[in-house]
C-alpha cells in the first residue's frame, strides 16, 4: 500500500469534543507563550505572526475535510495513492451518552465507500485521541470501568457501518497520548501523574484487546492492529554503557506496549518520526538536519527499526504514519525517498512490509501547536480552503507509479 494519512479532528472541521473545548480555554495562553515555546526555532520569524494568534490554536473549520472529502479523494486518486488512513470521530457518532447519531454513521459509510470506489483502501482509525465531552467528564480512560463505553461505540460501528473495513486501527499512539496528557500535562486533561499515565496505558491495551475480539466476530476478514509510535535507538560507538541505554529505551519505548497486546494484532502499525542516537548516556541528535518543529530527521533509520520489530514479533508491518513539518517543502521529497530506500532495505532483510502511509495527506491541525506546522502532501489555504499539491507530492506520485510498473 502506498498511502497518506489524516485524522478526524485534525482535518474535519466543526468537531465538538474534549479537545475542542480545551482549545478554546487555552488559545490565549498558547498565543501569548508562542515566543517561549518556538522562539528558539530557526524559522521563528516566519511563523511568529501565525503562532502568536489565538486562532492558530482553535481547530474550528480546520481543512473542512468533513464536507470536502470527495474533492480530497479525487486529488489522492490522481496522486496514485492506493490507501488512505483516516478515521471515525467518536464524538460525532455518540455526541450524547448512549445516543448514536445515524446521520454521522451514514456519513462515514459513504466516506469509506467513496474511497473504495476510487480503488483506495481505507485504513480506519477508531480513536485518534479525541472523544465526546461526556466521556471526558466520566474521567476518560483513567478508569478501567469506562472502557466499556469505548467498546460499546466500537461495537456499534462494527455492527452498523454496513461496509467491509479491510484494515482497522483501534487506537492511535497510546504511549504518546498518555505521556502528553497525563505525564507531561501538555494536552487535555493536563492532570495526573506517573501512576495515572500508566493506568491509562494499561486501560488502552485492555480496550484494544476487547475491540480486537469483538470486531473479529463481526468482521472476521478485517486486519486489525493499532498505531504505535516507535523510535529507533542506537549508539554512536560500541561502548557497553550507551548500548545498555539503547537496549532499555527500545524495551520501554517500543516493546512495552506491544508486549501487552502482541497476541491481538494481525499486523504491527508503526508511526515513525524519530531516531535517537546515544553518545555516552545522553541522546545527541545535533548532527542531523531539523524540520520546522525542530525535530531532527533520520528517515534512513526506519528500516533498521522495522527489522528489530519484525524479528521479535514476526508480524507484517504497516507504516501507519511518517512525515515532516515542512512548510517550504524543502525536505519532504528527501524524507520520502530515504524512507522508501530504507523500507527496501528492511524487505531485503526479511520484513514483510504491508505499506507506507505518509503523514499527512493534507495540512492539518497539529494539536497544541495549532495550524502553523505544515505536514501535508497537499497544502491547505485556511482562508479560502484551496488545495495545492506540493511538488514533493507530485514526485511521490511518480514514484508510486514507477514502483508499481517495476512490479508488473
Ligand atoms: C500523530 C499525529 C500528528 C503527527 C505529527 C503523530 O504522533 O498521530 O496526529 O499530527 O504525529 O506530530
Query: What's the whole-number average pLDDT of the chain?
Result: 97
Q: Verify whether ligand 1 is closer than 6 Å to residue 69 (CB atom).
A: no
Enter the pTM of the model.
0.98
pLDDT value for 406: 77
Q: What is the dihedral of CA 349, 123, 370, 196, to 10 degrees?
A: -80
What b/e readout covers 125-135, taking b as 16+ CB neighbours within 10 angstroms? bbbbbbbbbbb
Average pLDDT over residues 147-160: 98
Residue nearest to ligand 1 atom 10, measured at CA: 366
Residue nearest to ligand 1 atom 12, measured at CA: 366
pLDDT value for 263: 96
The rounded distance, in Å, linking the Cα atoms of 356 and 335 is 12
Q: Examine the pLDDT at 408 and tell me if it is beyond 70.
A: no
Ligand 1 centre to CA of 241 (Å) is 32
Any idea what the Cα angle at residue 307 is, between residues 306 and 312, rounded to 5°? 100
The rounded distance, in Å, linking the Cα atoms of 176 and 196 is 14
Give the percent of the chain with pLDDT over 70.
100
**Beta pairing class for 268-279 and 83-87:** unpaired
Q: Please report the atom of ligand 1 found closest to the CA of residue 172.
A: 8
SS (H, E, C) 182-220: HHCCCCCCCCCCHHHHHHHHHHHHHHHHHHHHHHHHHCC
Q: Verify whether ligand 1 is closer than 6 Å to residue 326 (CB atom).
A: no
* Length reported for the chain: 408
State pLDDT tens for residues 249-297: 999 999 999 999 999 999 999 999 999 999 999 999 999 999 999 999 9
Q: Verify whether ligand 1 is closer than 6 Å to residue 235 (CB atom).
A: no
Any idea what the Cα angle at residue 358 is, between residues 357 and 360, rounded to 5°? 125
| Cell 497486546 sits on residue | 261
State pLDDT tens for residues 74-123: 999 999 999 999 999 999 999 999 999 999 999 999 999 999 999 999 99
Residue nearest to ligand 1 atom 5, measured at CA: 366
| Cell 469483538 sits on residue | 214
Q: Verify whether ligand 1 is closer than 6 Å to residue 173 (CB atom).
A: yes
Q: Please report the atom of ligand 1 found closest to the CA of residue 360.
A: 10
pLDDT value for 148: 98
pLDDT value for 405: 74
The H or E element containing residue 226 is: strand 223-235
Q: Verify whether ligand 1 is closer than 6 Å to residue 359 (CB atom).
A: yes
Nearest C-alpha neighbor of 38 from the set 27, 50, 25, 55: 50
Number of DSSP helices (H) and strands (E) in the chain, helices first: 16, 11
pLDDT value for 191: 83
Cis amide leading into 289 (omega within 30): no
355 contacts: CB under 8 Å, gap ≥ 6: 1, 2, 3, 83, 318, 319
The rounded distance, in Å, linking the Cα atoms of 331 and 329 is 6
pLDDT class for 140, splitting at 50, 70, 90? Answer: very high
Q: 374: which DSSP letter?
A: -
Q: Examine the pLDDT at 309 and tell me if it is beyond 70.
A: yes
Cis amide leading into 360 (omega within 30): yes
Cβ proximity of 159 and 213 under 8 Å: no
pLDDT value for 192: 78
Q: Examine the pLDDT at 174 and tell me if it is beyond 70.
A: yes
**Beta pairing class for 378-380 and 317-322:** unpaired
The rounded distance, in Å, linking the Cα atoms of 402 and 104 is 38
How many C-beta atoms surround the C-beta of residue 385 within 10 A? 16
Q: Verify whether ligand 1 is closer than 6 Å to residue 292 (CB atom).
A: no
Ligand 1 centre to CA of 194 (Å) is 22
Q: Please report the atom of ligand 1 found closest to the CA of residue 7.
A: 9
For 39-197, list the strands marked E by DSSP.
83-87, 121-127, 167-172
Q: Please report the atom of ligand 1 found closest to the CA of residue 364.
A: 10
Residue nearest to ligand 1 atom 3, measured at CA: 366
Amino acid at each position: 500500500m502506498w498511502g497518506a494519512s489524516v485524522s478526524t479532528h485534525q482535518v474535519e472541521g466543526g468537531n465538538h469534543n474534549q479537545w475542542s473545548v480545551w482549545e478554546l480555554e487555552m488559545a490565549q495562553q498558547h498565543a501569548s507563550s508562542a515566543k517561549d515555546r518556538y522562539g528558539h526555532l530557526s524559522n521563528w520569524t516566519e511563523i511568529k505572526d501565525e503562532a502568536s494568534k489565538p486562532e492558530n490554536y482553535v481547530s474550528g473549520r480546520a481543512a473542512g475535510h468533513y464536507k470536502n472529502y470527495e474533492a480530497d479523494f479525487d486529488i489522492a486518486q490522481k496522486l496514485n495513492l492506493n490507501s488512505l488512513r483516516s478515521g471515525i470521530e467518536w464524538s460525532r457518532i455518540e455526541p450524547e451518552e448512549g445516543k448514536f447519531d445515524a446521520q454521522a454513521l451514514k456519513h462515514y459509510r459513504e466516506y469509506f465507500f467513496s474511497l473504495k470506489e476510487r480503488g483506495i483502501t481505507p485504513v480506519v482509525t477508531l480513536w485518534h485521541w479525541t472523544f465526546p465531552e461526556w466521556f471526558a467528564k466520566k474521567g476518560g480512560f483513567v478508569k478501567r470501568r469506562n472502557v466499556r463505553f469505548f467498546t460499546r461505540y466500537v461495537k456499534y460501528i462494527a455492527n452498523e457501518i454496513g461496509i467491509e473495513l479491510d484494515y482497522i486501527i483501534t487506537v492511535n499512539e497510546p504511549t504518546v497520548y498518555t505521556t502528553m496528557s497525563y505525564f507531561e500535562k501538555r494536552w487535555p486533561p493536563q492532570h495526573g501523574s506517573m501512576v495515572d499515565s500508566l493506568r491509562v496505558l494499561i486501560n488502552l491495551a485492555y480496550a484494544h484487546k476487547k475491540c480486537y475480539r469483538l470486531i473479529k466476530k463481526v468482521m472476521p476478514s478485517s486486519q486489525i492492529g493499532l498505531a504505535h509510535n516507535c523510535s529507533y535507538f542506537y549508539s554512536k560507538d560500541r561502548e557497553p554503557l550507551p548500548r545498555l541505554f539503547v537496549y532499555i529505551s527500545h524495551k520501554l519505548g517500543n516493546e512495552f506496549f506491544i508486549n501487552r497486546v502482541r497476541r491481538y494484532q494481525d499486523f504491527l502499525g508503526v508511526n515513525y518520526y524519530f531516531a535517537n542516537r546515544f553518545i555516552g548516556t545522553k541522546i545527541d541528535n545535533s548532527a542531523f538536519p531539523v524540520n520546522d518543529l525542530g525535530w531532527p530527521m533520520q528517515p534512513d533509520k526506519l528500516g533498521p527499526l522495522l527489522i528489530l520489530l519484525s524479528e521479535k514479533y514476526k508480524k507484517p508491518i504497516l507504516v501507519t504514519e511518517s512525515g515532516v513539518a515542512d512548510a517550504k517543502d524543502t525536505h519532504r521529497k528527501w524524507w520520502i525517498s530515504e524512507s522508501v530506500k530504507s523500507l527496501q532495505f528492511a524487505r531485503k532483510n526479511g520484513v514483510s512490509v504491508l505499506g507506507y502511509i505518509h503523514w499527512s495527506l493534507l495540512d492539518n491541525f497539529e494539536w497544541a501547536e495549532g495550524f502553523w506546522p505544515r505536514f501535508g502532501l497537499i497544502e491547505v489555504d485556511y482562508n479560502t480552503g484551496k488545495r495545492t499539491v506540493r511538488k514533493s507530492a507530485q514526485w511521490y506520485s511518480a514514484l508510486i507509479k514507477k514502483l508499481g510498473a517495476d512490479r508488473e
